[in-house]
A = this chain, B = another copy of it.
Amino acid sequence: MSTIPRNQWYVAAYGSEISNELFARRICDEPILFWRTAEGTVVAHADRCVHRRFPLSQAPSRLVDDKVICGYHGFTYGSDGRCVAVPGQTKVPRTARLAPYPVVEVDSLVWVWIGDPALADESRIPRASYLDAPGWTTVRGLEPLAARFSLLVDNLLDLSHETYLHGGYIGTPEVASTPITTEVDDDAGAVYVSRHMDDAECPPFYRESTGLQGRIARWQDIEYTPPCLYKLHSRIAPVGSVPNPDGSDPDAFHVEVVYAITPETEHSTHDFWMVARDFALDDDGVSAFLAENNRTVVLQDVEALDVLERVIATEPAGYQELSINIDTGGLAARRMLARMVGETPRNAPAAPVR
């Protein structure tokens, strides 16, 4: 049985990835064709010609004047997915239509709805407006992960691993040794995990980017809205500095580390990562440093999680993990994800029925 929640919004791409060209990506085990119309709207359809299932993203298929022409026999589709031409006859079968996917482009992200299109509700898309707002600068990337998405959820909900897996980059001894507080908001569909280190070593990632010397106050406030969006509100400040009662926080540096955790298949994941900051906005050196450093950290995770996926593939059934306090947030996230999967009726088809 699938462990991927359906009837959910997922980040399919960065807006900048999609232009007036055919673009394919597998999301939640469904092959999807994306392209941006001449007018600028992103559309998404099943990436299979209705005739003989040739992928429309596959050359010599091509996009001409906002119409997709299949490279095998020339079936031609408009931006609404309807077939407008077939070979050898003038009548086009009424049912010849590519299944459309609801798409929303917001906060520099292209979200796609996986499941029953009738249930797609844009208001449920979690926001991260700083990714695309004045006063912020963002670097970003996308790494392929050969592991199930839940392993990345586990990883990100328990940052004590920074001390060991990312030592010398973002990890210091205080991350593993400082207890966390965890909150679960089932109504909002969110898990919060906080770790406030009031007097901690400053790791290179923040020392180089902020210029802070000496020890720091380092706050990690995680906000995860399953299944897809993970936000780490990171506050870095001189020791002793706290935000003002009105919320202003002039002595601190704020970094929003965002992950979009999108299943590609049951056993692989699109690992979208973004780092937004409210300082040194035009400093290309800081941008380059944060991009390169965070990518290194992400690749350390990718290597470890790829190993875990292979481990799981060969382990005996009924294998038991042992969990401790640091896992509270991760376990809460697992329960939410399990409920989401359970919401799918038992006999649901493996593919969308539209």
Contact = CB atoms under 8 A, between A and B. Distances in A.
Nearest 8 A/B pairs, CB to CB: A316-B351, A87-B176, A316-B350, A87-B160, A88-B326, A50-B322, A74-B164, A73-B161
A227 interface: no
Interface of A: 29, 31, 48, 50-55, 58, 60, 69-74, 86-89, 93, 95-96, 154, 158, 160-161, 163-165, 167, 176-180, 304, 307-308, 311-312, 314-319, 321-326, 349-351
B88 A165 contact: no
Contact of A176 (B88, B93, B95): B88
A29 to B, nearest CB: 7
Copies of this polypeptide in the complex: 3
Given A324-B89, A350-B316, A163 B55 contact: no
Contacts of A73: 158, 160-161, 164, 176, 326
11 contacts: A31-B311, A54-B307, A55-B307, A69-B164, A72-B165, A72-B304, A86-B324, A87-B163, A89-B179, A93-B322, A93-B324
A15 to B, nearest CB: 27
A307 B52 CA distance: 12
B324 A51 contact: yes
A177 to B, nearest CB: 7
Of A60, A93, A351, the most chain B CB neighbours within 10 A belong to: A60
B74 A324 contact: no
Contacts of A69: 164
Contacts of A316: 349-351
A179 B86 CA distance: 12
A177 B87 contact: yes
Contacts of A325: 88-89
A72 B161 CA distance: 5
Contacts of A154: 52
A350 B318 CA distance: 10
Contact of A53 (B93, B177, B312): B312
Contacts of A29: 314
A198 B48 CA distance: 34
Contacts of A54: 304, 307-308, 311
A51 B155 CA distance: 12
A165 B71 contact: yes
A165 B322 contact: no
Nearest to A92: B324
Contact of A74 (B71, B160, B311): B160
Contacts of A311: 31, 48, 53-55
A264 to B, nearest CB: 11
